[in-house]
């Protein structure tokens, strides 16, 4: 980004900080420091020597000559991590012996304090003011210092795998999980299959989800404590269990449509229904099914949406129609259901790496990410607006980088937010109308998500895909690149690989 202000010094400097260890010239051995690169654009004629200083547990200074009205890139290393103070000055003559000239500076920046960490980003802006030696009556400029996460400026890589259609031309992967074999497993509710894909994309496998060969609509799926895959079948209001080792399927009538399902903290499988939540024992079958309804004032369709096990030992679930979070004690039954008012309607929910609950949803056309400690409730609530209007965030998962990653169903993007909330970024998906839905952390360190394809859910026909995103993996030379690659799994599905370009501004806490 370039701006010109009254002919003044314009310096938008983008810094990339990477945590590293060093023992050189430091009072503490193995002190963590950062390395930065900076770009100064269009320096004016009275700014020939630039000095930037970062002071914390140590002091890092870099002085360099710049050419007027040109752009200069330089490196600054040894930045101390922690509480730092940033300052800058510019001089009307060239630098002397690696330092500033003896003359007074023509530009000075007001010192700014900031906490520097390896990740997430911290944004620092220095307001530059001309001094009496600048020869200017007025004018100012900004030096913007942006500290992205490691390898920012490098693009995440998104790889997409087209699901072979067992019920041509429909296939609708919806939810997914990691199986006992380390593969990615998902319910294909349009094809009526339980499908798997290796993390290398080498092969798909597809198994009928109906035990009698009839109709089945498997949507949500999870790995149970028994090493089998448990799923919900909306075609007949049943809970199914699939054995990856034998391919066998058994279904148990739940008596009410069930949707999201997950392994609970008590060793049972928990699921949401149209009116509340339920559980089934992995060994007890249909006779062990218990159903718990929401309070009568909250009951209604479509009702509960997603659920997760909280760090407090309770099961937490959302309701797609209300600005509420619910919790239930595994031993307390319906009487233990508690509700917590939220400022938006949460849909997807997970327990984050910090032990807090993280959830996504919307209020009107604005998407939100929210988080709170399950033990303290709304007293610890924080919310962050998603930059893209009408994002429709629907599911969220912890990433290998300690951040939270989520799907934006209607804007065709994958979002990521740091646990501190200091950074919220979005990455467009290569394919149009991908309709990204579920997202999980895979055993390969990638985030895996489904592209259910909006056309299927809008009454048309289309292809569904399973995709992954590798956080900050490579640095493309320029732009987004899509490289078609052909693999030969069962069905000969195709693969697309590309670099995801970042879009949208940084999100702010509400």
| CATH number of the domain where residue 418 is located | 2.130.10.10
Confidence of residue 382 (pLDDT cuts 50, 70, 90): very high
What are the tens digits of pLDDT across the range 426-439? Answer: 988 876 678 899 99
User: How many C-beta atoms surround the C-beta of residue 372 within 10 A?
Assistant: 20
Range scoring the smallest mean pLDDT among 78-87, 243-252, 454-463: 454-463
Domain count, the chain: 2
Which of 147, 175, 194 represents a domain boundary (last residue)?
147
Q: What is the pTM of this model?
A: 0.67
* pLDDT above 90: residue 99: no
| CATH number of the domain where residue 34 is located | 2.60.40
Burial class from Cβ neighbours inside 10 Å (0-12, 13-18, 19+) for residue 19 reads middle
Mean pLDDT along residues 96-109: 87
Mean pLDDT along residues 371-390: 95
Do 81 and 225 lie in one domain? The reply is: no
Give the side-chain half-sphere CA count within 13 A for 234: 17
Task: Give the pLDDT score at 457.
Answer: 56
- What is the spatial distance between Cα 214 and Cα 191, in angstroms, rounded to a whole number? 12
Range of the domain at 385: 155-499
Helix or strand (DSSP H, E) at 222:
strand 218-223
Do 346 and 430 lie in one domain? The reply is: yes
- What is the spatial distance between Cα 277 and Cα 435, in angstroms, rounded to a whole number? 26
What are the tens digits of pLDDT across the range 110-147? Answer: 788 877 766 555 566 666 678 876 655 444 444 444 44
Average pLDDT, the chain: 77
Helix or strand (DSSP H, E) at 456:
helix 454-457
* pLDDT above 50: residue 15: no
| Residue 182 covered by a domain | yes
Do 220 and 181 lie in one domain? The reply is: yes
Report how far apart the first and last C-alpha atoms of the chain are (Å, whole number).
Answer: 27
Do 84 and 163 lie in one domain? The reply is: no
Which of 98, 247, 272 shows the shortest CA–CA distance to 175?
A: 272
Task: Give the pLDDT score at 421.
Answer: 81
Do 118 and 187 lie in one domain? The reply is: no
Do 118 and 23 lie in one domain? The reply is: yes
Q: Which residue has the higher pLDDT, 82 or 460?
A: 82
- What is the spatial distance between Cα 374 and Cα 377, in angstroms, rounded to a whole number? 5
- Most confident region among 232-236, 277-281, 408-412, 455-459 by mean pLDDT: 277-281
Task: Give the pLDDT score at 270.
Answer: 98
Which of 131, 147, 163 represents a domain boundary (last residue)?
147
Do 340 and 420 lie in one domain? The reply is: yes
| Residue 6 covered by a domain | no
User: CA angle at residue 437 from 432 to 439, to 5 degrees?
Assistant: 115
Task: Give the pLDDT score at 152.
Answer: 43
């Amino acid at each position: 980004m370039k701006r010109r202000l009254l002919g003044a010094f314009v310096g938008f400097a983008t810094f990339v900080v990477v945590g590293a260890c060093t023992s050189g010239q430091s009072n503490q051995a193995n002190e963590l420091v950062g390395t930065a690169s900076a770009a100064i654009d269009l320096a004016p004629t009275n700014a020939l020597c630039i000095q930037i200083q970062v002071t914390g547990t140590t002091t890092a200074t870099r002085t360099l000559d710049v050419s007027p009205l040109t752009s200069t890139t330089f490196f600054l290393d040894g930045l101390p991590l922690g509480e730092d103070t940033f300052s800058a000055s510019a001089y009307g003559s060239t630098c002397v012996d690696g330092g500033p000239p003896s003359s007074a500076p023509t530009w000075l920046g007001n010192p700014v304090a900031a906490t520097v960490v390896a990740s997430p980003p911290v944004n620092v802006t220095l307001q530059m003011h001309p001094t009496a030696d600048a020869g200017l009556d007025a004018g100012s400029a900004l030096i913007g210092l942006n500290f992205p996460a490691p390898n920012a400026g490098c693009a995440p890589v998104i790889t997409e795998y087209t699901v072979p259609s067992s019920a041509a031309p429909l296939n609708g992967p919806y939810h997914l999980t990691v199986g006992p074999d380390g593969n990615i497993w998902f319910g294909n509710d349009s094809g009526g299959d339980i499908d798997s894909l290796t993390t290398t994309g080498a092969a798909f496998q597809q198994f009928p989800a109906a035990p009698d060969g009839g109709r089945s609509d498997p949507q949500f799926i999870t790995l149970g404590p028994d090493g089998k895959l448990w799923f919900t079948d909306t075609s007949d209001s049943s809970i199914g269990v699939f054995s990856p080792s034998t391919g066998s399927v058994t279904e148990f009538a739940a008596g009410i449509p069930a949707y999201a399902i997950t392994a609970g903290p008590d060793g049972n499988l928990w699921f949401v229904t149209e009116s509340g939540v339920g559980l089934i024992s992995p060994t007890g079958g249909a006779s062990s099914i218990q159903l718990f309804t929401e309070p009568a004032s909250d009951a209604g369709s479509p009702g509960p949406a997603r659920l997760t096990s909280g760090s407090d030992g309770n099961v937490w679930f959302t309701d797609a129609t209300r600005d509420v979070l619910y919790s239930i004690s595994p031993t307390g039954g319906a009487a233990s259901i508690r509700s917590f008012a939220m400022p938006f309607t949460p849909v997807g929910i997970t327990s984050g790496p910090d032990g807090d609950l993280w959830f996504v949803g919307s209020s009107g056309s604005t998407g939100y990410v929210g988080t709170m400690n399950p033990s303290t409730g709304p007293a610890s609530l924080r919310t962050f607006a998603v930059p893209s209007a009408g994002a429709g965030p629907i599911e969220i998962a912890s990433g290998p980088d300690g951040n939270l990653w989520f799907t934006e169903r209607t804007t065709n993007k994958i979002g990521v937010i740091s646990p501190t909330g200091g950074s919220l970024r979005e990455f467009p998906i290569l394919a149009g109308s991908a309709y990204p839905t579920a997202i999980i952390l895979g055993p390969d360190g990638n985030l895996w998500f489904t592209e259910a394809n909006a056309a299927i859910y809008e009454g048309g026909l289309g292809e569904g895909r399973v995709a992954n995103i590798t956080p900050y993996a490579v640095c493309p030379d320029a732009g987004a690149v899509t490289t078609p690659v052909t693999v030969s799994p069962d069905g000969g599905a195709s693969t697309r690989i590309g670099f995801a370009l970042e879009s949208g501004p940084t999100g702010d806490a509400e």
